[in-house]
Amino acid sequence: MSTTRLSGFLLLLSLLLAGCGEIGKVTTIKLAHGLNVDHSVHKAMVYMGERLKERSGGKMHVAIYPNQQLGTERQLLELLQIGSVGMTKVSVGVMENFAPNMKVFGLPFIFRDKEHAYNVMDGEIGRELLLQGEDYWLRGLTYYDAGSRSFYTKERPIYTPDDLSGLKIRVMESATAMDMVRSLGGSPTPISWGELYTALQQGVVDGAENNPPSFYLSGHYEVCKYYTLNEHTTLPDVLLIGTHVWDRLSPEEQEWLQAAVDDSAVYQRKLWAESEQEALDAVKEAGVEIIIPDKSTFKKEVTQLIESYKNDNNIYSLIQRIQETE
């Protein structure tokens, strides 16, 4: 290959890999995630792109790649860190590997109700935690509602924590999630989201835990016919931008983007409430047994897990601040 052709090829490759670039004086940000296009978070991202185009007068554009087109959640985080992808969405549980204080969101029953969770995320605590990943080139922009996570299983229903004994339960790559399942008597097994359907089919795990829309849209209800709404954790999703991309934006572009993101978070919460009920209705119609347990039995089992953080000044201080939030 001649020097000229090689230079041209490398230039094209760099443009394809860039998480943010200018095409015809339009700043385009590449946003990739693992959800399907029916998910409320994807729809919120589309809405965010529309609002960004409006706010910027057409000067900014978001190119969205859903369904793990550009990689798994872990791969996308790595691509963000080197600037090959501009934005992505991950569960806050995954972020604790980069922003340790975010593990507080994964503590079971840390929030009294949904309003309490919103007040924490929208307030000073939430804003502080969004920026804690910047040392790893990951800047949080907002939280998307991901409801509360509950257990679903293949062979037997879960009525009390005792029913989890001996069951392998899929969890995210989160130490807090693993501690939570252990405290309830289960055996935590980290598996990537994209591999979970097959793992459930093949019996690698006996069950998993997630919110109603994820349980439904993933098709996991086809394998697991018991869904116990114990709602042990309320883990939001986090919309991230790589600092390599964020720092290349002008202050005006940063303002346009953040405003569009904030608009999308409000929009997504409305979609989420609708999608939760739709998902529960759909899986019930498909033959899934919906179980409403006594949550107090689950709360009792995780009391020691919460108290174990007394020796971690940062986390225990956050726990106290969250409990004091109205």
Over residues 218-273, the pLDDT tens digits come to 999 999 999 999 999 999 999 999 999 999 999 999 999 999 999 999 999 999 99
Burial class (CB in 10 A: 0-12, 13-18, 19+), 148: buried
Indicate if the pLDDT at residue 301 is higher than 50.
yes
What's the pLDDT score for residue 20?
Answer: 67
What's the pLDDT score for residue 9?
Answer: 36
Indicate if the pLDDT at residue 77 is higher than 60.
yes
What's the pLDDT score for residue 96?
Answer: 83
**Sheet containing 289-291: order of strands:** 187-190, 168-171, 207-210, 149-153, 226-233, 289-291
What's the pLDDT score for residue 60?
Answer: 98
E strands in the chain: 20-23, 26-32, 60-65, 87-91, 138-144, 149-153, 168-171, 187-190, 207-210, 226-233, 237-242, 289-291
Query: Which DSSP string do the residues of 85-96 spell out, in sequence order?
Result: S-EEEEEHHHHT
- Determine what percent of the chain is predicted with pLDDT higher than 90: 79
Q: Which of 222, 227, 223, 230 is nearest to 181 (CA)?
A: 230
User: 173 pLDDT band (50/70/90 cuts)?
Assistant: confident
What's the pLDDT score for residue 124?
Answer: 96
What domains are there in the chain, each with its CATH number? 18-145+236-268 (3.40.190.170), 149-234+279-324 (3.40.190.170)
Indicate if the pLDDT at residue 93 is higher than 90.
no
Residue with tokens 């804690």: 132
What's the pLDDT score for residue 318?
Answer: 95
Q: What is the arithmetic mean of pLDDT over 8-14?
A: 38
Q: How far apart are CA 226 and CA 168, in angstroms?
A: 15
What's the pLDDT score for residue 197?
Answer: 97
Write the CA distances from 277 to 213, 272, 280, 281, 283, integer angstroms: 8, 9, 5, 6, 10
Better-predicted residue by pLDDT, 149 or 96: 149
Amino acid (one-letter) located at 223 = V
pLDDT, tens digit (0-9, with 9 covering 90-100), for 187-233: 999 998 889 999 999 999 999 999 999 999 899 999 999 999 999 99
Assign residue 112 a region: left if phi > 0, alpha if psi is -120 to 50, beta otherwise? alpha
What's the pLDDT score for residue 22?
Answer: 57
User: 21 pLDDT band (50/70/90 cuts)?
Assistant: low
Q: What is the arithmetic mean of pLDDT over 153-160?
A: 97
Packing angle of the helix pair 251-285, 40-55 (nearest 10 deg): 150
User: 36 pLDDT band (50/70/90 cuts)?
Assistant: confident
Average pLDDT, the chain: 91
